Chain A
Amino acid sequence: DGGITQSPKYLFRKEGQNVTLSCEQNLNHDAMYWYRQDPGQGLRLIYYSQIVNDFQKGDIAEGYSVSREKKESFPLTVTSAQKNPTAFYLCASSRRTGNQPQHFGDGTRLSIL
C-alpha cells in the first residue's frame, strides 16, 4: 500500500540537542510538507519542498532545518535554537501540479526531557 511513514512516533529531546524526524513516502509525489500542531491550533507550515534539492521556508521555519536529497524522503531537524519544540509534527505529500489533496503521515510527538 502507498503511503507516508513518519518515525519515530514519540521522541524526546534533551536541552541543547538536535533531533531529526523522518518522513518517507512511496506515493511518487513531488511535493512534501512539514507541519506543526499545537493544542487548540491548526496545522502551521514549517517547510515545504516541490522538487528534489529544493525547499522553502513556511510560516514558522525558525529553529528547524530540512533536506530533500531524494524524492521519497524529507527529514526535519529540530535544532537547539527551537526554544519551544514540544508539539505534534505532521509530514504530508501531494502531487505538484493542480489542486490536489495532501496525504498525511501519522505524526511524531516530540517532548522535552
Chain B
Amino acid sequence: DQQVKQNSPSLSVQEGRISILNCDYTNSMFDYFLWYKKYPAEGPTFLISISSIKDKNEDGRFTVFLNKSAKHLSLHIVPSQPGDSAVYFCAASLLTSGTYKYIFGTGTRLKVLA
C-alpha cells in the first residue's frame, strides 16, 4: 500500500515557466512533509519542508503548498531553470513508537527545456 503517491512520473516545462509537482498521501497522521531533489547516481538533496500546521512555505524560487483536507501537497518552482532538471521526491514523516519514519513517493522526473 503506497501511502505517498506521485502520480506523474515525468514533467517537461519550458525555461522561465512554473513547474508544479504534485504529491498525494493517505495517512492523516503524517505531520511533516518534505521535498527532495535527486540527480542520477547521487543521493537526494533536501529542498524544502512544511509542517502539517501550515499550508504554505516559501524558500526563494521554491514554494510548497499543503492541503490537508485533500491530503495533497505540491511543489512550485518559479521560474524554472535548466539546472532544476532532476527527479523530485516527496516524503512524509510519522512519529511511530518514538521514532521518526519517512515514507517516500516514487518520484517525478522534471525536465526544464532551454
- The answer to whether A90 and B43 touch across the interface, beta carbons within 8 angstroms, is yes
Please measure, in the bound complex, the distance between the C-alpha atom of A26 and the C-alpha atom of B33, giving whole angstroms.
25
Q: Chain A residues near B93: list those with CB within 8 A.
A: 99
**Interface residue tally for chain B (C-beta within 8 Å):** 29
Chain B binding site: helix, strand, loop or mixed by DSSP?
Answer: strand
* A100 close to B (CB within 8 Å): yes
In the assembled complex, the CB of B27 is this many whole angstroms from the nearest CB of chain A, namely 14
Chain B: CB-nearest residue to A3: B43
Q: Chain B residues near A56: list those with CB within 8 A.
A: 99
**Max count, chain B CB within 10 A of own CB: residue among A4, A58, A102, A103:** A102
Please measure, in the bound complex, the distance between the C-alpha atom of A109 and the C-alpha atom of B42, giving whole angstroms.
10
- The answer to whether A41 and B106 touch across the interface, beta carbons within 8 angstroms, is yes
Please measure, in the bound complex, the distance between the C-alpha atom of A99 and the C-alpha atom of B50, giving whole angstroms.
10
- The answer to whether B46 and A50 touch across the interface, beta carbons within 8 angstroms, is no
Chain A: CB-nearest residue to B34: A101
Q: Residues of B with Cβ closer than 8 Å to A?
A: 2, 4, 6, 9, 31-32, 34, 36, 41-46, 49, 51, 89, 91, 93, 98-107
